[in-house]
Chains A and B, each alone.
Chain A
Amino acid sequence: MSAYSSLEISQRLAVPAGTTSPVSTEGPYFEDVTVGMTLELQKPAITRLQIAKFAGASGDFNPSHVDEDIARDIGGMGGVFAHGMIGMGFLGQLLTDFLWDRPLRMFSTRAVIIVRPGDTLTCRAKVSRKWVEDEDNLVEFELEALNQNKEVTHTGKAEAVLPHRPIAIKADLKRPYLVQHRVIG
């Protein structure tokens, strides 16, 4: 472990006051998730600083995101706008807050309209399908992000692999003939 990694989170990151982190000990089980179930995450308004930080974190310094003059005069988009991947990152957070340590198999998004500094995104997920494929129990989520005007900025889908709890014969089902059968059989 590097010296940096051994530092506490509070020493490494300026976590805003009042930020709550997801607290969980294990992710959901396959049988806990029902088709139609919904999740929601409200994010604070996107700032120009956040866009600049994303450019630094991702290496994507397209002037459409960080240079107001070029974005307005050459890009013709009326000014800078957020990387589409920021909205995707928010949707990813919505998923991992819920799934915890259950793995994603696929995650896709489509940028529908641009997101500007000051826009506030609400991320939503809805369980649209459950199925078993080979050894994997799969759950599909339909995703969308909406801005403060209720306009859809991103749509998407995700697939996660969830385990089923280990099987066990429930106590009230342990009838004498079953026990006998097991003994005799």
Chain B
Amino acid sequence: MPINLNALGAETPWSEVVVTQERIDALCSVLGDYNPLFLDAEQAAQSENQGIVAPPTFINCFRDFKTALVLSEAEVDLPLLLHGEQVIRYYKPVRPGDRVLHKIKVIEAGRKKSKTYGEVSFFTVLIKMKNLADERLVEATQLFFVRDK
């Protein structure tokens, strides 16, 4: 079933989240990435980062209201959803203890031909993350395809 293209421009409210070591640990654990720069305060303090920073794909762990956006606005049938591309741009490091704000917006929606799946719907979301001083931390775009059946 095609998605609702009226989802273009829909966005979540800003959501405030505290970055915790537990969340960083959870991502490192699943990836099997035990880099001390993400996990060991003592060793990370001696690096240029001057403390623990989050791994590069940590922004994927911030998705408050994203399900509502995808299900209610784009009317996506989740089992038909496929992830296409993701671009992450980094402005400032994200650290445990940081209070961050994030929001997600549908910036592109339409129909296109896929080599593998024929005619499909697609949509792109922009995820923004900033600190309470309104400084950009990380931004990402994610492109998704939704098969008709």
A binds B: yes
Interface set of A (CB-CB < 8 Å, partner B): 1-2, 4-5, 9, 12-16, 19, 21-22, 25-27, 43-44, 50, 53-54, 56-60, 62-64, 70-71, 74-77, 83-86, 88-90, 92-93, 95-97, 100-111, 114
In this complex, how many residues of chain B approach chain A with their Cβ under 8 Å: the count is: 49
A-B contact count (CB 8 A): 151
Interface set of B (CB-CB < 8 Å, partner A): 20-23, 25-37, 39-41, 46-49, 55-57, 60-61, 63, 66, 77-90, 93, 96, 147, 149
Partner of A108, one of B40, B55, B66, B86: B86
Task: Establish whether residues B31 and A104, one from each chain, have CB atoms under 8 Å apart when the complex forms.
Answer: no
A88 to B30, CA, bound (A): 12
A64 to B55, CA, bound (A): 25
B87 contact set on A, CB distance < 8 A: 106-108
Task: Establish whether residues B78 and A62, one from each chain, have CB atoms under 8 Å apart when the complex forms.
Answer: yes
Task: Establish whether residues B23 and A85, one from each chain, have CB atoms under 8 Å apart when the complex forms.
Answer: no
Task: Establish whether residues B40 and A9, one from each chain, have CB atoms under 8 Å apart when the complex forms.
Answer: yes
Partner of B32, one of A19, A62, A108, A111: A19
